[in-house]
């Protein structure tokens, strides 16, 4: 609350009323240039994505690329070209990963520029918007409700200024700031406005690094990524001893040709590496970011796509989410015999007293433009915690008066008869504000006590045309929607009812909710719509839902949503919302369309479901490769495959199909326990494939028991392994669509082509000898496929139970 100078004028650049005698006019152009030359600029690199250098490094310098690279170099010296094909596949995979992530970076960076905060800075006596990175030491920066403090500074002007520092200190109560008080970067304005002088910029600013991290496109915690890292860790542990045993077996125990032994050793090690799994995960996420970017959805943290797909409860703020930001005054009802013309004058003066009006006050300003000679002597900005604003005036006839404008059920006693009429209006989904004339001073904590009701201002909120369809989508997907709003409970319920939200009729006034977490969680489980929710209660509600094991998404656009957005599993902010909400949210809807959320959910489900599918393909290969190596060591025989055989098998049964399956539509609901789900299928699949292949190999060795028969034995084993791998692919590709059937058929046709075209037979060293052994190989594969089908159906049944 602040006393206002009698004279005020509109700044030509920034049409906001500011006092004529500014306490800080800002730096001159020359002073700004001087500070830039000295490097006193807010040069913290705020990015929406990793740099190009980081992207290349992350895709090239990996543990498995190092292993494959060393083996590739060895093979280029000791074996034919076709046995080193796996190295070129790795090069192609890495290139694809880099290109896709660079495309995602380009999309994100362009969207981040659109959603970038542009603080208002005074220079040469005028106010203008500049980029955050252009702020210099000593700049005078204006801020109002919802604005984030971007650098450290000292307050030089305060008009009822209240700042929330909870994101830095953990203290939930807003702090009232006066000229001379310090303000810290990372805090945000909840009420009032003012200006401050930048005292620390760039990396010196308090919480500058936190602000940078909050705005960066980061690979933070993700169940998919954590699960894949866990799998790769165990794969590495299995690989090392198995590879050592295989090397000793092939080079020492078996006295073979050295180059052939090296080739078969490498052929045993290479398929143990699930080299394409990390790549496909990155590609799937990157393409998801690009797809959402085309819909004006900025994903500030990569796993947010995955996180929203796992959400089972979405908390919605009414204003700006279910309704559009603007409002219209539909009716003015004078109370207690008040003169309507006089009320118009009061409302016009109240509108002029606030340089940063919210949506409700803006509707009043539009309906009742200020045309009076009233002078504002004191003002109390609106706060979502107290639910009203106010101002004191020197009227044109010399009288003084103090007025309050806000929520009727807050300004009136509970037994006031006017509340019945207001309730009836709220039931129609209308928003009602009460204008009262106070009998006490504006700075009195009990100013609302004894105030005389003067008029009701009836506002109509504009429903978002797509909100109803979006709520129905969430209902169909078993995602519970909870509307939690600071507005009147009955009004909120009426709006939710118009949109067809179940449970809207049984609205709860949050002031009656218990503070104890378990009791609050129980109330949240039983009810859907809540009104008169304070900012702290929104945060408590999110915590209460999470305590019951729910994964919670929170949407909002105002400063009263910031704390809840920060604590929610996924925060979703509107692009037109306050700077503070955009800073803490993981997803920003730049087009302000709530209807974009189903696209984010669908994209997340596509990524999770498809990566689970293709991970099974890759890990079946890893399991059977490790087991085959163990069998070879135990039986003291030559490894059955050369690298070219497994390159062919991996390409046809894993690499090409996985790429298409990873990017296919998938509407399955995201399931938890990624590692457990994948390994339940990969272990039995890999064991059966390894046993069946090795049995075929041993039978073939006995059948072709002659010198120089290794190629025939390898061909028979390759046929069995290919058929089983195709069956695994066929299971993973379900449910079948025309393109999935075509994909599987095309891979089978590719292998058949290799078997019938002479130069391909020679290139891949594959030639089936006779008819008996090939049919035996087919028979063993058929039995293995039947066992695999039975086992996977049993696993499926247990998983669903």
What positions carry a catalytic annotation? 317
User: Tokens 């090795």 sit at which residue?
Assistant: 694
Helix (H, G, I), strand (E, B) or coil at 446: coil
Please tell me the distance from the alpha carbon of residue 214 to that of residue 46, in angstroms, as a whole number: 9
- Residues 657, 744: contact at Cβ < 8 Å? yes
Give the closest residue to 491 by CA, choosing from 403, 602, 360, 371: 360
Beta-carbon contacts of 19 under 8 Å, excluding residues fewer than 6 positions away, are: 4, 5, 7, 8
CB 586 within 8 A of CB 307: yes
The 10 Å Cβ neighbour count of residue 223 is 17
Alpha-carbon span 458 to 432, nearest angstrom = 5
Q: Residue 447 burial by CB count (10 A; 0-12/13-18/19+): exposed, middle or buried?
A: buried
State the pairing for strand pair 400-406/587-589.
unpaired
* 642: nearest Cα among 265, 123, 172: 265
Dihedral of alpha carbons 25, 29, 30, 34, sign: positive
User: Nearest 5°: phi and psi at 485?
Assistant: -135, 155
The two three-digit tokens of residue 523, written as one number: 């109330």
CA dist 647 and 718 (Å) reads 11
Rounded to 5 degrees, what angle do the CA atoms 274, 280, 281 make? 100
150 CB-contact burial (10 Å; exposed 0-12 / middle 13-18 / buried 19+): buried
Closest to 139 (Cα-Cα) out of 4, 11, 34: 34
SS3 (DSSP) at 154: strand
The span from the first CA to the last CA of the chain, in angstroms, equals 61
Distance (Å, whole) CA 249 – CA 152: 66
CA 416, distance to chain mean position in Å, is: 46
Extended strands (E) in 399-447:
400-406, 431-438
695: which residues sit within 8 A by CB, 6+ positions away?
Answer: 780
Structure tokens at 347: 């409302």
Closest to 454 (Cα-Cα) out of 434, 472, 471 = 434
Q: Is 251 exposed, middle or buried (0-12, 13-18, 19+ CB in 10 A)?
A: middle
CA dist 339 and 622 (Å) reads: 84
Give the pairing type, strands 400-406 and 431-438. Answer: antiparallel
CA distance 383 to 192: 8
Residue 16, CB-side half-sphere exposure with 13 Å CA sphere: 19
Which residues, at least 6 apart from 456, have a Cβ–Cβ distance to it below 8 Å? 331, 332, 333, 335, 408, 418, 421, 422, 425, 432, 433, 434, 435
What CA–CA distance (Å, rounded) separates 320 from 754? 61
Contact 159, 192 (CB under 8 A): yes
Question: What is d(CA 391, CA 355) in angstroms, rounded to the nearest whole number?
Answer: 12
Q: Is the dihedral of CA 414, 416, 420, 421 positive or negative?
A: negative
Q: Please give the angle made by the CA atoms of 320, 325 and 331, to the nearest 5 degrees.
A: 125
């Amino acid at each position: 609350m602040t006393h206002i100078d009698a004279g005020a004028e509109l700044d030509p650049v920034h049409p906001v009323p500011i006092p004529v005698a500014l306490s800080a006019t800002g730096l001159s152009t020359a002073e700004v240039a001087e500070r830039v030359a000295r490097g006193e600029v807010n040069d913290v690199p705020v990015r929406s994505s990793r740099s190009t250098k980081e992207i290349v490094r992350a895709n090239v310098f990996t543990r498995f690329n190092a292993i494959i690279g060393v083996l590739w170099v060895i093979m280029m010296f000791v074996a034919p070209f076709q046995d080193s094909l796996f190295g070129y596949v790795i090069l192609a995979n890495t290139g694809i990963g880099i290109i896709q992530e660079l495309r995602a970076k380009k999309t994100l960076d362009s969207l981040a520029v659109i959603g970038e905060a542009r603080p208002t800075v005074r220079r040469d006596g005028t106010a203008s918007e500049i980029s955050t990175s252009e702020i210099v030491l000593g700049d005078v920066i204006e801020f109002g409700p919802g604005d984030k403090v971007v650098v450290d500074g000292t307050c030089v002007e305060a008009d009822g200024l209240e700042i929330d520092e909870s994101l830095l200190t953990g203290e939930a109560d807003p702090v009232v700031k006066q000229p001379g008080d310090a303000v810290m970067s990372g805090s945000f304005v909840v009420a009032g406005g003012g200006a401050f002088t930048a005292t620390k910029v760039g990396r010196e600013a308090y919480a500058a690094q936190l602000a940078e991290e909050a705005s960066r496109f980061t690979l933070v915690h993700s169940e998919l990524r954590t699960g894949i890292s866990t799998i790769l860790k165990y794969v590495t542990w299995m690989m090392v001893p198995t590879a050592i045993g295989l090397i000793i077996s092939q080079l020492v125990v078996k006295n073979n040709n050295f180059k052939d032994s090296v080739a078969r050793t490498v052929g045993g090690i290479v398929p143990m590496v699930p080299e394409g799994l990390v790549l496909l995960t990155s590609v799937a996420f990157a393409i998801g970011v690009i797809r959402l970017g085309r819909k004006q959805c900025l994903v500030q943290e990569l796993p947010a796509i995955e996180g929203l797909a796992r959400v089972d409860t979405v908390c919605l703020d009414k204003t700006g989410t279910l309704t559009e930001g603007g409002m219209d005054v539909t009716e003015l009802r004078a109370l207690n015999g008040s003169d309507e013309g006089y009320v118009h004058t009061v409302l016009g003066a109240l509108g002029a007293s606030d340089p940063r009006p919210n949506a409700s006050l803006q509707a009043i300003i539009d309906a009742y433009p200020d045309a009076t000679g009233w002078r504002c002597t004191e003002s109390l900005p609106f706060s979502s915690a107290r639910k009203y604003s106010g101002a004191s005036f020197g009227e044109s006839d010399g009288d003084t008066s103090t007025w309050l404008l806000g929520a009727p059920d807050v300004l009136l006693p509970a037994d006031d008869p006017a509340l019945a009429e207001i309730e009836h209006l709220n039931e129609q989904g209308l928003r009602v504000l009460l204008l009262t004339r106070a009998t006490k001073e504006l700075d009195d904590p009990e100013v609302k006590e004894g105030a005389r009701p003067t008029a009701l201002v009836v506002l109509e909120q504009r429903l978002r045309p797509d909100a109803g369809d979006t709520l129905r989508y969430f209902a169909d997907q078993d995602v519970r929607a909870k509307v939690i709003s600071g507005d009147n409970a009955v009004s909120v319920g009426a709006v939710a009812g118009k949109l067809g939200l179940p449970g809207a009729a049984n609205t709860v006034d949050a002031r009656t909710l218990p503070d104890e977490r378990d009791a609050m969680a129980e109330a949240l489980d039983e009810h859907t719509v809540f009104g008169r929710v304070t900012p702290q209660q929104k945060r408590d509600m999110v915590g209460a839902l999470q305590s019951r094991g729910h994964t919670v998404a929170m949407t909002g656009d105002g400063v009263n949503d910031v704390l809840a957005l920060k604590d929610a599993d996924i925060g979703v902010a509107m692009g037109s919302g306050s700077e503070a909400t955009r800073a803490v949210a993981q997803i920003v809807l730049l087009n302000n369309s709530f209807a974009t959320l189903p696209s984010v959910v669908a994209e997340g489900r596509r990524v999770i479901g498809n990566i689970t599918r293709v991970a099974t393909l890759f890990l079946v290969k890893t399991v059977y490769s490790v087991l085959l190596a163990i069998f070879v060591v135990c039986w003291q025989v030559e490894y059955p495959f050369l690298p070219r055989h497994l390159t062919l098998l991996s390409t046809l049964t894993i690499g090409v199909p996985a790429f298409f399956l990873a990017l296919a539509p998938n509407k399955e609901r995201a399931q938890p326990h990624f590692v457990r789900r994948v390994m339940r299928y990969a272990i039995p699949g890999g064991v059966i494939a390894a046993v069946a292949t090795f049995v075929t190999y041993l039978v073939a060795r006995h059948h072709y028991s002659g010198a120089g028969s290794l190629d025939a034995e390898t061909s028979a084993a390759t046929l069995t392994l290919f058929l089983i791998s195709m069956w695994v692919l066929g299971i993973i590709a379900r449910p079948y669509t025309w393109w999935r059937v075509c994909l599987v058929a095309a891979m089978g046709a590719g292998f058949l082509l290799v078997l019938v075209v002479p130069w391909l037979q020679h290139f891949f060293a594959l030639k089936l000898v006779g008819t008996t052994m090939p049919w035996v190989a087919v028979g063993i594969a058929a039995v293995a496929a039947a066992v695999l089908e039975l086992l996977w159906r049993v696993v499926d049944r247990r998983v669903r139970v």
